[in-house]
Chain A
Amino acid sequence: MTYETPVATAPPVTTAPPARSQGIALGRRRGTVATVIMALLALAWLFPLLWALVNSFREYDYTQANGYLSFGGWTFSNYVDAWTRADFGLHMKNSLLVTIPAVLLTLWLSSMVAFVLARFSYRFNLTLLGVFLAANLLPPQALLIPVFRMFRQIPVPYFLSDSGSLLNSFWALILVNTAFQMGFCTFVLSNYMKTLPYEIYESAELDGASVWRQYWQLTMPLVRPALAALATLQVTWVYNEFFWATVLIQQGDKLPVTSALNNLRGQFFTDTNLVAAGSIIVALPVLVVFFALQKQFVSGLTLGSTKG
């Protein structure tokens, strides 16, 4: 039996048949009510994206003439139009160039800290974790001015960034995203690593394996599920990052796609169908990740609470 019906039915063990059937009947009715409400809410929640999807395929002239509550005027041209006008190809590439390195760097650095936290019991462990975790929660705006000024000051060779400083370079975004996301990943990974039996390290030590080998060859393969889950989450988070990209990148052609939305506002907001097509284009990568890796996605968020 599942808990499809509310728990407040008759006591489960020694129920006499009449009471039991009554309980189920009640439960069934309440279950139906719950199902209907849930179905309606779920539809309401899906509606904005569905609405965007439908209208992204409609001609501007048609919807102008007949209103949005009409039906017809199907076209694919909004996508072509939005793609070229917004230069989405370029911005998608920028997003890719920021997201992939940032996620790899975050996972690598935080897995090292997590390993030390899980493998050893130093006095500074909690403090160390606190330093990373609190950083994860600080409002980024609170750090904006010093980071902005520092990045403008730090020279970067021109072959790495044509702006000559960290400002307007992808490196800035990679580093900032990494610094902010490490807290969460360190926490999740160290908890995950703590579920590994400690004996594996004892026998590794007996075999003379160095700490680095214990990390890289023993621990890392064992935490692959957690790494996969975190990678999924981080890809969407970094792809969605808006604030730092908006303030640290001032050359329009270097903006990742999420922050490029800001510049499209003026161009697009006069044509809602174009907004719809643009929205779907920008949403598509994360939606694909979400649907393809939903299990990883959800487990990434819940890893901290379950036993691995």
Chain B
Amino acid sequence: MAHIDEAPQQERAAAPTPGKEKRLPARDRLTVIVMVTVPLLLVLFLVWLPALGSVALSFGKWNGFGDIDTIEWVGFQNYQDIATIYPPFWPAIQHNLIWLGFLFLIPTPLGILLAVVLDREMKGSRFYQTAFYMPVVLSLALIGFIWQLFYSRDQGLINDVFGTQVDWYGDPDVNLWAVLAATSWRHTGYIMLIYLAGLKGVDASLREAAAVDGANEVKTFFHVILPVMRPINLIVIVIVVIESLRAFDLVWIVNKGRNGLEVIGALVAQNVIGEATRYGFGSALAVIMMLISSVFITIYLRTVFREERRG
């Protein structure tokens, strides 16, 4: 979920320089160690250790029922099989990419546009913000549920209005787009909020200077605001990529990610809690997800830390 932590504030002048912390009394040192170690162990044990575990398991064949020594190590076999003889894989990759492209082209610019407009204390700005932001508090699973009211073949609003007979969630030719429309309902408000927060931090004098120079709205945005918002832009890009990669809830609630709605996240789950438990296979898919996300996590951390250091 949300990772809106942009542009941290300045380091206090009085704080000691990094790495030059003076030694604490023994009892306090113990306190600090405990305060850091307990949360750290939790995150290492439940996130980082499993991440390594996924990498290891991706080189083996295992149904998960026997002990660890029942794993048959097969090298890169799983990866090879995924690319060659696993039918849903390439459709899934394609769907994740469509997901990404769609989010980038439609709801993300729309969210940014809304933020730019609403940033101008226009009348009723708060009402609009609330309206756009409301879907963000709903889960995507629930959103999939609610949009059934539009998409149902026999009882849905869309077919009712247009007199069509399309099964929007069931027809593999259209269901991806139906799901993307539903996801945009939420994504737009999310991007709007992140961007709005960033815009509040833009120095008003910059805009005034641009206005004095005779720059129009559009020019001001592209030449003044957008460059200043670079860290936020990067974070928005990272969020969009990660959200598209993680896509799961909506497709799972619709049809557990098959029949036109294959996405990588759902394939991993199918290999664990589906009819066949293929741990090696699922893990190889998981590793592919991890590799893609790690690139963007790196960009994210670098952005955040650069801001942090700049202070």
Binding site for B on A (CB under 8 A): 2-4, 6-9, 11-12, 31, 34-35, 38-39, 41-43, 45-46, 48-49, 51-52, 55, 63-64, 67-69, 109-110, 112-113, 115-116, 120-123, 125-126, 128, 130-150, 175-176, 178-180, 182-184, 186-188, 191, 194-195, 197-199, 202, 210-212, 215, 233, 236-237, 239-243, 246-247, 250, 258-259, 261-262, 264-265, 269, 271-272, 275-276, 278-279, 282-283, 286-287, 289-290, 294, 297-298, 301-302, 304-308
Do A31 and B122 form a contact, CB below 8 Å, given A38-B128, A305-B7? yes
The 10 closest A-B pairs by CB, nearest first: A146-B53, A240-B139, A304-B5, A146-B50, A302-B197, A198-B14, A42-B131, A179-B46, A143-B50, A272-B155
Q: Which residue of the partner chain B has the closest CB to A215?
A: B35
Chain B residues whose C-beta falls within 8 Å of the C-beta of A134 in the assembled complex: 297, 301
Interface pair B286/A149, CB less than 8 Å apart: no
Interface pair A143/B293, CB less than 8 Å apart: no
Interface pair B122/A145, CB less than 8 Å apart: no
| Contact residues of B between 138 and 157, Cβ < 8 Å to A | 138-142, 145-150, 152, 155-157
Partner pick for B248 among A38, A116, A141, CB 8 A cutoff: A141
Interface pair B54/A146, CB less than 8 Å apart: yes
**Closest beta carbon of chain A to B80's beta carbon, Å:** 19
Chain B residues whose C-beta falls within 8 Å of the C-beta of A138 in the assembled complex: 47, 51, 290, 293, 297
Interface pair B5/A128, CB less than 8 Å apart: no
Tell me the complex Cα distance, A120–B10, Å.
Answer: 15
Chain A binding surface, main DSSP class? helix
| Contact residues of B between 31 and 86, Cβ < 8 Å to A | 31-32, 35-36, 38-40, 42-51, 53-54, 57, 64
Interface pair B8/A179, CB less than 8 Å apart: no
Interface pair B208/A7, CB less than 8 Å apart: yes
**Closest beta carbon of chain B to A126's beta carbon, Å:** 6
Q: Which residue of the partner chain A has the closest CB to B142?
A: A282
Tell me the complex Cα distance, A113–B32, Å.
Answer: 9
Tell me the complex Cα distance, A130–B208, Å.
Answer: 38
Interface pair B290/A142, CB less than 8 Å apart: yes
**Closest beta carbon of chain A to B248's beta carbon, Å:** 6
Stretch at the interface among B98-106, B172-180, B265-273: B265-273
**Closest beta carbon of chain B to A199's beta carbon, Å:** 6
Tell me the complex Cα distance, A3–B95, Å.
Answer: 42
Tally A-B pairs: CB < 8 A.
375
Tell me the complex Cα distance, A115–B36, Å.
Answer: 9
A-B contact pairs, 11 of them (CB 8 A): A8-B216, A48-B149, A51-B157, A131-B40, A144-B286, A145-B279, A179-B47, A211-B32, A261-B145, A272-B155, A304-B4
Chain B residues whose C-beta falls within 8 Å of the C-beta of A175 in the assembled complex: 42, 46
**Known A115-B35, A262-B252, A304-B6; further 7 A-B contacts with Cβ < 8 A:** A8-B214, A45-B134, A68-B160, A130-B301, A141-B268, A210-B31, A242-B141
